[in-house]
Amino acid sequence: MYIPSISPYALKIGPFAVHWYGIFMALSIAAGAYYMYIKARELDYNEDFLVNLLVIVVIFGVIGARLMYVLANSPEWFIKDPVQILKTYQGGLSWHGGILGGFLSGFYYCRKKGVRMNPLADYAVIGLAIGNMLVRIGNIFNQEVLGRSTSFAFGRWPAQLVGVTMGIILLVRYFYIERKHMPYGYQFWSFIFYYQLMRGLIEETVRDNPLFIHAYLNKNWGIGFFTLTQIVTPFILILSFWMMKRVLNDPENKKN
Protein backbone atom coordinates (compact mmCIF):
# COMPACT_ATOMS: atom_id res chain seq x y z
CA MET A 1 0.00 0.00 0.00
CA TYR A 2 1.28 3.44 -0.91
CA ILE A 3 -0.64 6.32 0.70
CA PRO A 4 1.45 9.53 0.42
CA SER A 5 -1.10 11.56 2.41
CA ILE A 6 -0.40 9.58 5.60
CA SER A 7 2.08 11.19 7.96
CA PRO A 8 4.73 8.96 9.56
CA TYR A 9 4.48 11.09 12.71
CA ALA A 10 2.03 10.50 15.53
CA LEU A 11 3.30 13.69 17.17
CA LYS A 12 5.75 16.35 16.04
CA ILE A 13 6.73 19.47 17.95
CA GLY A 14 9.69 21.26 16.40
CA PRO A 15 12.61 18.84 16.16
CA PHE A 16 10.85 16.39 18.49
CA ALA A 17 8.89 13.70 16.68
CA VAL A 18 7.18 10.46 17.63
CA HIS A 19 6.85 8.03 14.74
CA TRP A 20 3.94 5.64 14.37
CA TYR A 21 6.50 2.98 13.47
CA GLY A 22 8.16 3.37 16.86
CA ILE A 23 4.83 3.27 18.68
CA PHE A 24 3.77 0.05 16.98
CA MET A 25 7.13 -1.53 17.67
CA ALA A 26 6.99 -0.53 21.33
CA LEU A 27 3.48 -1.95 21.66
CA SER A 28 4.50 -5.28 20.14
CA ILE A 29 7.55 -5.52 22.42
CA ALA A 30 5.44 -4.68 25.47
CA ALA A 31 2.75 -7.24 24.57
CA GLY A 32 5.28 -9.97 23.89
CA ALA A 33 7.29 -9.24 27.03
CA TYR A 34 4.19 -9.21 29.21
CA TYR A 35 2.95 -12.55 27.85
CA MET A 36 6.34 -14.20 28.24
CA TYR A 37 6.70 -12.88 31.79
CA ILE A 38 3.27 -14.10 32.91
CA LYS A 39 3.66 -17.56 31.36
CA ALA A 40 7.22 -17.99 32.60
CA ARG A 41 6.24 -17.06 36.15
CA GLU A 42 3.68 -19.87 36.03
CA LEU A 43 6.65 -22.22 35.54
CA ASP A 44 8.44 -20.61 38.51
CA TYR A 45 11.14 -18.82 36.54
CA ASN A 46 12.93 -16.28 38.73
CA GLU A 47 11.51 -12.77 38.38
CA ASP A 48 14.88 -10.99 38.28
CA PHE A 49 16.14 -13.45 35.69
CA LEU A 50 13.12 -12.81 33.47
CA VAL A 51 13.43 -9.03 33.65
CA ASN A 52 17.13 -9.20 32.80
CA LEU A 53 16.46 -11.65 29.98
CA LEU A 54 13.76 -9.48 28.44
CA VAL A 55 15.98 -6.39 28.52
CA ILE A 56 18.89 -8.27 26.95
CA VAL A 57 16.77 -9.87 24.22
CA VAL A 58 15.07 -6.58 23.28
CA ILE A 59 18.33 -4.63 23.13
CA PHE A 60 20.23 -7.20 21.09
CA GLY A 61 17.15 -7.95 18.99
CA VAL A 62 16.96 -4.31 17.88
CA ILE A 63 20.72 -4.14 17.36
CA GLY A 64 20.68 -7.31 15.27
CA ALA A 65 17.65 -6.15 13.28
CA ARG A 66 19.24 -2.83 12.42
CA LEU A 67 22.69 -4.18 11.59
CA MET A 68 21.28 -6.91 9.36
CA TYR A 69 19.09 -4.38 7.53
CA VAL A 70 21.98 -1.99 6.93
CA LEU A 71 24.27 -4.83 5.87
CA ALA A 72 21.73 -6.10 3.34
CA ASN A 73 20.52 -2.75 2.01
CA SER A 74 22.94 0.11 2.73
CA PRO A 75 26.34 -1.31 3.76
CA GLU A 76 28.00 1.94 2.71
CA TRP A 77 26.53 3.58 5.82
CA PHE A 78 29.12 1.77 7.95
CA ILE A 79 31.81 3.89 6.29
CA LYS A 80 30.16 6.98 4.81
CA ASP A 81 27.31 7.80 7.20
CA PRO A 82 27.31 5.68 10.41
CA VAL A 83 24.84 8.08 12.08
CA GLN A 84 22.15 6.70 9.77
CA ILE A 85 22.54 3.31 11.43
CA LEU A 86 21.13 4.75 14.67
CA LYS A 87 17.93 6.09 13.08
CA THR A 88 15.78 3.03 13.73
CA TYR A 89 12.73 5.24 14.31
CA GLN A 90 12.62 5.89 10.57
CA GLY A 91 12.13 2.21 9.86
CA GLY A 92 14.60 -0.20 8.39
CA LEU A 93 14.83 -3.27 10.60
CA SER A 94 15.48 -6.81 9.47
CA TRP A 95 13.16 -9.44 10.94
CA HIS A 96 15.82 -12.10 10.52
CA GLY A 97 18.45 -9.94 12.18
CA GLY A 98 16.11 -9.27 15.09
CA ILE A 99 15.41 -12.96 15.58
CA LEU A 100 19.10 -13.83 15.34
CA GLY A 101 20.21 -11.11 17.75
CA GLY A 102 17.47 -11.83 20.25
CA PHE A 103 17.82 -15.60 20.09
CA LEU A 104 21.62 -15.70 20.40
CA SER A 105 21.69 -13.24 23.30
CA GLY A 106 18.86 -15.09 25.05
CA PHE A 107 20.52 -18.44 24.46
CA TYR A 108 23.81 -17.19 25.91
CA TYR A 109 22.15 -15.68 28.98
CA CYS A 110 20.01 -18.77 29.67
CA ARG A 111 22.99 -21.07 29.27
CA LYS A 112 25.09 -18.88 31.55
CA LYS A 113 22.39 -19.06 34.23
CA GLY A 114 21.69 -22.76 33.67
CA VAL A 115 18.05 -22.11 32.74
CA ARG A 116 15.86 -23.92 30.19
CA MET A 117 15.34 -21.75 27.14
CA ASN A 118 12.82 -23.76 25.09
CA PRO A 119 9.72 -22.74 27.10
CA LEU A 120 10.77 -19.09 26.95
CA ALA A 121 11.38 -19.28 23.21
CA ASP A 122 7.85 -20.67 22.78
CA TYR A 123 6.34 -17.81 24.77
CA ALA A 124 8.22 -15.32 22.60
CA VAL A 125 6.11 -16.38 19.61
CA ILE A 126 3.25 -14.16 20.75
CA GLY A 127 5.43 -11.06 20.63
CA LEU A 128 6.88 -12.08 17.26
CA ALA A 129 3.45 -12.60 15.70
CA ILE A 130 2.03 -9.36 17.11
CA GLY A 131 5.20 -7.56 16.06
CA ASN A 132 4.83 -8.81 12.52
CA MET A 133 1.32 -7.38 12.39
CA LEU A 134 1.95 -4.01 14.04
CA VAL A 135 5.32 -3.25 12.45
CA ARG A 136 3.86 -3.93 9.01
CA ILE A 137 1.16 -1.37 9.82
CA GLY A 138 3.97 0.99 10.80
CA ASN A 139 5.51 0.33 7.39
CA ILE A 140 2.36 1.76 5.81
CA PHE A 141 2.86 5.03 7.68
CA ASN A 142 6.54 5.08 6.65
CA GLN A 143 5.60 4.33 3.03
CA GLU A 144 7.98 1.37 2.91
CA VAL A 145 7.84 -2.40 2.30
CA LEU A 146 5.83 -1.65 -0.82
CA GLY A 147 4.40 -4.21 -3.19
CA ARG A 148 5.26 -4.40 -6.86
CA SER A 149 3.16 -2.48 -9.38
CA THR A 150 0.80 -4.56 -11.48
CA SER A 151 -1.55 -4.16 -14.43
CA PHE A 152 -4.43 -5.30 -12.23
CA ALA A 153 -7.14 -2.88 -11.12
CA PHE A 154 -5.64 -2.46 -7.61
CA GLY A 155 -2.42 -1.16 -9.16
CA ARG A 156 0.06 -2.32 -6.51
CA TRP A 157 0.25 -5.38 -4.29
CA PRO A 158 -0.54 -4.50 -0.64
CA ALA A 159 2.63 -6.17 0.66
CA GLN A 160 2.25 -4.72 4.16
CA LEU A 161 -1.23 -6.23 4.51
CA VAL A 162 0.17 -9.57 3.37
CA GLY A 163 2.56 -9.34 6.32
CA VAL A 164 -0.26 -8.39 8.67
CA THR A 165 -2.25 -11.41 7.51
CA MET A 166 0.74 -13.67 8.08
CA GLY A 167 1.01 -12.38 11.64
CA ILE A 168 -2.67 -13.05 12.29
CA ILE A 169 -2.42 -16.59 10.92
CA LEU A 170 0.63 -17.36 13.05
CA LEU A 171 -0.96 -15.85 16.16
CA VAL A 172 -4.10 -18.00 15.76
CA ARG A 173 -1.90 -20.99 15.05
CA TYR A 174 0.01 -20.46 18.30
CA PHE A 175 -3.11 -20.82 20.45
CA TYR A 176 -4.29 -23.78 18.38
CA ILE A 177 -0.98 -25.60 18.86
CA GLU A 178 -0.91 -24.65 22.54
CA ARG A 179 -3.99 -26.79 23.09
CA LYS A 180 -2.11 -29.83 21.77
CA HIS A 181 0.56 -29.63 24.50
CA MET A 182 3.47 -30.06 22.13
CA PRO A 183 7.00 -30.31 23.60
CA TYR A 184 8.73 -27.09 24.58
CA GLY A 185 10.59 -25.53 21.68
CA TYR A 186 8.19 -26.80 19.03
CA GLN A 187 6.14 -23.61 19.01
CA PHE A 188 9.17 -21.43 18.36
CA TRP A 189 10.81 -23.48 15.64
CA SER A 190 7.55 -24.27 13.88
CA PHE A 191 6.76 -20.54 13.95
CA ILE A 192 10.09 -19.84 12.24
CA PHE A 193 9.38 -22.56 9.68
CA TYR A 194 5.91 -21.43 8.68
CA TYR A 195 6.72 -17.73 8.82
CA GLN A 196 9.66 -18.21 6.48
CA LEU A 197 7.64 -20.44 4.20
CA MET A 198 4.87 -17.84 3.81
CA ARG A 199 7.29 -14.98 3.47
CA GLY A 200 9.44 -16.68 0.86
CA LEU A 201 6.53 -17.95 -1.22
CA ILE A 202 4.06 -15.09 -0.87
CA GLU A 203 5.27 -11.81 0.63
CA GLU A 204 8.64 -11.68 -1.11
CA THR A 205 7.08 -12.72 -4.41
CA VAL A 206 4.91 -9.59 -4.55
CA ARG A 207 7.13 -7.23 -2.55
CA ASP A 208 9.08 -4.61 -4.47
CA ASN A 209 12.51 -5.86 -3.44
CA PRO A 210 15.44 -6.04 -5.84
CA LEU A 211 16.01 -9.44 -7.38
CA PHE A 212 19.30 -10.90 -6.22
CA ILE A 213 19.06 -13.50 -8.97
CA HIS A 214 16.94 -12.55 -11.99
CA ALA A 215 15.22 -15.88 -12.49
CA TYR A 216 11.74 -14.55 -13.27
CA LEU A 217 9.96 -11.20 -13.33
CA ASN A 218 6.41 -10.62 -14.56
CA LYS A 219 5.71 -6.89 -14.54
CA ASN A 220 2.05 -7.35 -15.49
CA TRP A 221 1.35 -9.60 -12.52
CA GLY A 222 3.88 -7.89 -10.27
CA ILE A 223 5.68 -11.04 -9.16
CA GLY A 224 9.34 -11.98 -9.25
CA PHE A 225 12.07 -14.43 -8.16
CA PHE A 226 14.58 -14.47 -6.42
CA THR A 227 15.10 -11.85 -3.75
CA LEU A 228 17.82 -12.30 -1.15
CA THR A 229 15.23 -13.49 1.36
CA GLN A 230 13.93 -16.09 -1.08
CA ILE A 231 17.45 -17.38 -1.64
CA VAL A 232 18.08 -17.95 2.08
CA THR A 233 14.59 -19.38 2.67
CA PRO A 234 15.49 -23.05 1.95
CA PHE A 235 18.35 -22.93 4.46
CA ILE A 236 16.12 -21.44 7.17
CA LEU A 237 13.43 -24.03 6.45
CA ILE A 238 15.94 -26.87 6.75
CA LEU A 239 17.34 -25.52 10.02
CA SER A 240 13.95 -24.89 11.62
CA PHE A 241 12.57 -28.26 10.47
CA TRP A 242 15.61 -30.03 11.92
CA MET A 243 15.16 -28.17 15.20
CA MET A 244 11.47 -29.12 15.29
CA LYS A 245 12.39 -32.79 14.96
CA ARG A 246 15.06 -32.41 17.59
CA VAL A 247 12.78 -30.92 20.25
CA LEU A 248 10.09 -33.51 19.47
CA ASN A 249 12.54 -36.31 20.15
CA ASP A 250 14.10 -34.83 23.29
CA PRO A 251 12.41 -36.18 26.46
CA GLU A 252 13.55 -33.13 28.45
CA ASN A 253 11.19 -30.94 26.39
CA LYS A 254 8.04 -32.85 27.32
CA LYS A 255 5.33 -30.84 29.04
CA ASN A 256 3.82 -32.11 32.25
> For the segment 164-182, what is each residue's pLDDT rounded down to a tens digit?
999 999 999 999 999 999 9
Sequence-distant (≥ 6) Cβ neighbours of residue 132 within 8 angstroms: 95, 163, 164, 166, 167, 170, 195
Domain contains 253: no
Name which of 75, 67, 134 is nearest 94 in CA terms: 67
Q: CA of 219: how far to CAs of 157, 163, 224, in Å? A: 12, 21, 8
Q: How many domains, in total, are found in the chain?
A: 1
Q: CA of 114: how far to CAs of 110, 164, 246, in Å? A: 6, 36, 20
Domain contains 181: yes
- The annotation status of 179 as a binding-site residue, yes or no, is no
Domain contains 12: no
Cβ contact 105:56 at 8 Å: yes
For 55, half-sphere exposure in the C-beta direction (CA atoms, 13 angstrom radius) is 6
The pTM of this model reads: 0.92
Per the structure, the complete domain to which residue 184 belongs is given by 17-247
pLDDT at 15: 79
Domain contains 37: yes
Domain contains 152: yes
Domain contains 166: yes
pLDDT 10s per residue in the chain (256 long)?
678 788 888 988 887 888 898 899 999 999 999 999 999 999 999 999 999 999 999 999 999 998 998 888 888 888 888 888 887 766 678 889 999 999 999 999 999 999 999 999 999 999 999 999 999 999 999 888 999 999 999 999 999 999 999 999 999 999 999 999 999 999 999 999 999 999 999 999 999 999 999 999 999 999 999 999 999 999 999 999 999 999 999 887 777 6
Instruction: State whether residue 208 is helix, strand or coil.
Output: coil
Task: Give the ranges where 117-200 is alpha helix by DSSP (H).
Answer: 118-142, 159-178, 186-198
Backbone phi, psi, residue 167, to 5°: -60, -40
Domain contains 205: yes
Domain contains 1: no
